[in-house]
A and B are shown apart, each in its own frame.
Chain A
């Protein structure tokens, strides 16, 4: 497993999940869990995914997802999972 966490934050609009998951599908990144909520009028989504079969480098995926976010007016941040597990799990 090579787990990454993708967070998407921004104004709610049509097709956010579709756009992000399509990118992940085309890059052989397997989705393990998705959760989303609307806080205020802000769309918040978190995707836990496994990029073990992905042929692209982590940095490339991170940049491409950020650019995808800019296209649809959202902020997409991709991070390796360890920063969260280290901080929140003993």
Chain B
């Protein structure tokens, strides 16, 4: 039988170390909503999301109460809209009307984000994909809950550089249309390489076309729990360090598995995956940078950071995989700069630069996440950063992503404030040398060779 010590350990994780389930994300296929008429398409989308998602929030709250574990977010991911809207949408404005419908549906069922205003263009763009991408700035400026993502490359197909170039401009335009809110629109827009179909985390969540009608995916969290566990093994060997992270990740993931199974049973929707990511937030103590410091670095970004992050990412996966029957999504460690203090302090003190973050993305679970850059950064430079990150993902067969926020009207040393879960971020300097002529080339980067791994 469970003993007092074990009960205290679990409850200490929840109460003092911020263990929570970060999100229950209900994936919904909208493929059967497709129609040739925009009005009817909007009606069908609204009806399906509000029907399938009507009990999501109350179920999440009931599970939270039963187990005494906070479930921070309840969200919905949907089929990439460029596929659903292809038959009906003839202009970017048609797509914006869908974004507004999605926003209305999200508000109706009480969730806080809805992801899947997306296009998958890793090899080429259809007319529909292009229209959707062109509609993103307006869609994100006029909605609150809708999140957008564009997959511009993959290990199997290479990188669509026409889409990369287009996204450089789209990110700038999104920033300009939300300039009055520190370019908040860009915090809801992710550019991916090798995007997973079952990611429950925003802003990059969408319901892949290989998924069923509906699915429950759960994202756990718990950087504070790992940091606290590492406080007890200061000065110990790498073996002890790795074992400690693994055991902690196991415990954290078991909670996610329990919540995912319960949500699946109560909503009568199949259980998809648990995403093992250590997802930091602006809440006090919810920081991956503090874990890196606990591992022995003075600040995140110091020499040794990439190695420390590689250890963390790998041990989290090793511990978490055994704890859940199905693991998927982004699973690893996120390194958003907007998390609680650790990363922000490292930037302010000059320990952490954009280039070091890029190196870290080779071994973390995602990529350049929530990075505020000067508002006058040219579109081609943004496209260049996207291309660099996509190349890392393509060559290394991993998911990479870029969520950059060019903060209009602000420069290096200033701070962009987004509020809520998105927090705030210091504006980081960007390399000022041009990549215009490289980005202006048309076409795509061919798929890489899978041998000669040097």
Q: Which of B7, B69, B251 contacts A46 (CB 8 A)?
A: B7
Interchain CA distance A77-B255 in the complex, whole Å = 18
**A83 & B255 in contact (Cβ 8 Å cutoff):** yes
Task: Check B258–A83 contact: CB distance below 8 A.
Answer: yes
A33 to chain B: which residues have CB within 8 Å? 1
Let me know if B2 and A48 touch, CB within 8 A.
yes
Interface residue stretch chosen among B59-67, B271-279, B297-305, B307-315:
B59-67
Q: A44-B4, A87-B255 are in contact. Are A77 and B11 (CB under 8 A)?
A: yes
Q: How far is the CA of A85 from the CA of B1 in the complex (A)?
A: 8
For the complex, count residues of A whose C-beta is within 8 A of B: 25
Q: A7 on the interface (CB 8 Å rule)?
A: yes
CB-contacts of A16-54 with B (<8 A): 32-33, 35-37, 44, 46, 48
CA distance A35 to B8 in the complex (A): 12
* A79 surroundings in chain B (CB, below 8 A): 66-68
B239 interfacial contact with A, CB 8 Å? no
- Chain B residue nearest to A37 (CB atoms) is B4
- Binary contact readout B422-443 vs A (1 if CB under 8 angstroms, 0 otherwise): 0000000000000000000000
Task: Tell me if B6 counts as interface (CB < 8 A to partner A).
Answer: yes
B62 CB contacts on chain A under 8 angstroms: 59
CB pair B65 A84 closer than 8 Å: no
Report Cα–Cα, A78/B62, bound state, in Å: 13
Bound Cα distance from A7 to B12, whole angstroms: 12
* Assembled-state Cα–Cα distance A4/B365 (Å): 37
The docked-state distance in angstroms from the alpha carbon of A61 to that of B276 is 33
Cβ of B143 under 8 Å from chain A? no
**Complex interface: chain B residues within 8 A of A81 (CB):** 2
Q: Return the contact of B254 from the options A5, A46, A78, A86 (Cβ within 8 A).
A: A86
Contact between A84 and B66, CB atoms less than 8 A apart: no
Known contacts A46-B7, A48-B2; A58 and B66 CB within 8 A of each other = yes
Chain A residues whose CB sits within 8 angstroms of the CB of B128 once the complex forms = none
Residues of chain A in range 49-75 having any CB-CB distance to chain B below 8 Å: 58-59, 62
Q: Are A86 and B255 in contact, with the CB atoms below 8 A?
A: yes
A residues within 8 A CB of B8?
7, 44
Contact A59–B10 (Cβ < 8 Å): no
Measured as residues with beta carbon below 8 angstroms from the partner, the interface class of chain B is: 20 to 34
Smallest CB–CB gap between A55 and chain B, Å? 18
Q: Is B3 an interface residue (CB 8 A)?
A: yes
A87 touches B10 (CB 8 A): yes
Would you call the interface of chain B mostly helix, strand, loop, or mixed? helix
B306 within 8 A of A: no
Q: Determine if A12 is an interface residue (Cβ-Cβ < 8 Å).
A: no
Which residues on A sit within 8 Å (CB–CB) of B257?
86
Interface string of B243-273 (1 = CB under 8 A from A): 0000000010011011000000000000000
Q: Shortest CB–CB separation between residue A54 and chain B, in angstroms?
A: 14
Contact of A87 (CB < 8 Å), options: B65, B66, B68, B251: B251
Distance from A4 Cβ to chain B, minimum over Cβ atoms (Å): 9
Q: Which residues of B contact A48 (CB under 8 A)?
A: 1-2
When distances are taken between beta carbons in the complex, the residues of chain A under 8 Å from B2 are: 5, 48, 81, 84-85, 88
Tell me whether A84 and B4 are in contact (CB under 8 A).
Answer: no
Known: A7-B7, A87-B10. A59 touches B1 (CB 8 A): no
Given contacts A7-B11, A48-B1, whether A88 and B66 have CB atoms under 8 Å apart is: no
**Interchain CB contact under 8 A, B67 and A83:** yes
Q: CA separation between A86 and B10, bound complex, in Å?
A: 11
Q: A44, A78, A82 — which one has the most chain B CB atoms within 10 A of its CB?
A: A82
Q: Could you mark each residue 67-90 of chain B with 1 if its beta carbon is under 8 Å from any beta carbon of chain A, else 0?
A: 111000000000000000000000
The answer to whether B65 and A59 have CB atoms under 8 Å apart is: yes
Contact A88 B10 (CB under 8 A): yes
Taken residue by residue from 215 to 255, chain B's Cβ proximity to chain A (1 for < 8 Å, 0 otherwise) reads as 00000000000000000000000000000000000010011
A35: contacting residue among B3, B254, B258, CB under 8 A: B3
Smallest beta-carbon distance B121→chain A, Å = 41
- CB closest residue in chain A, given B3: A35
Q: Is the CB of B7 within 8 A of A5?
A: yes
B7 lies within 8 A of A84 (CB): yes
**Would A86 and B258 count as touching, CB distance under 8 A?**
yes
- How far, in angstroms, from A79 to B68 measured CA to CA in the complex? 6
In the assembled complex, the Cα of A81 lies from the Cα of B439 at a distance in Å of: 57
A-B contact pairs, 26 of them (CB 8 A): A5-B2, A5-B7, A32-B1, A33-B1, A36-B4, A46-B3, A46-B7, A48-B1, A59-B62, A59-B66, A62-B65, A77-B11, A79-B68, A80-B67, A82-B258, A83-B67, A83-B68, A83-B258, A85-B2, A86-B255, A87-B6, A87-B10, A87-B251, A87-B254, A88-B6, A88-B10
3 closest residue pairs by CB, A with B? A79-B68, A83-B67, A88-B6
Given A7-B8, A83-B255, 18 additional A-B pairs, CB 8 A: A5-B2, A35-B3, A35-B4, A44-B8, A46-B3, A46-B4, A46-B7, A48-B2, A58-B65, A59-B62, A80-B66, A80-B67, A82-B67, A84-B10, A86-B257, A87-B6, A88-B6, A88-B9
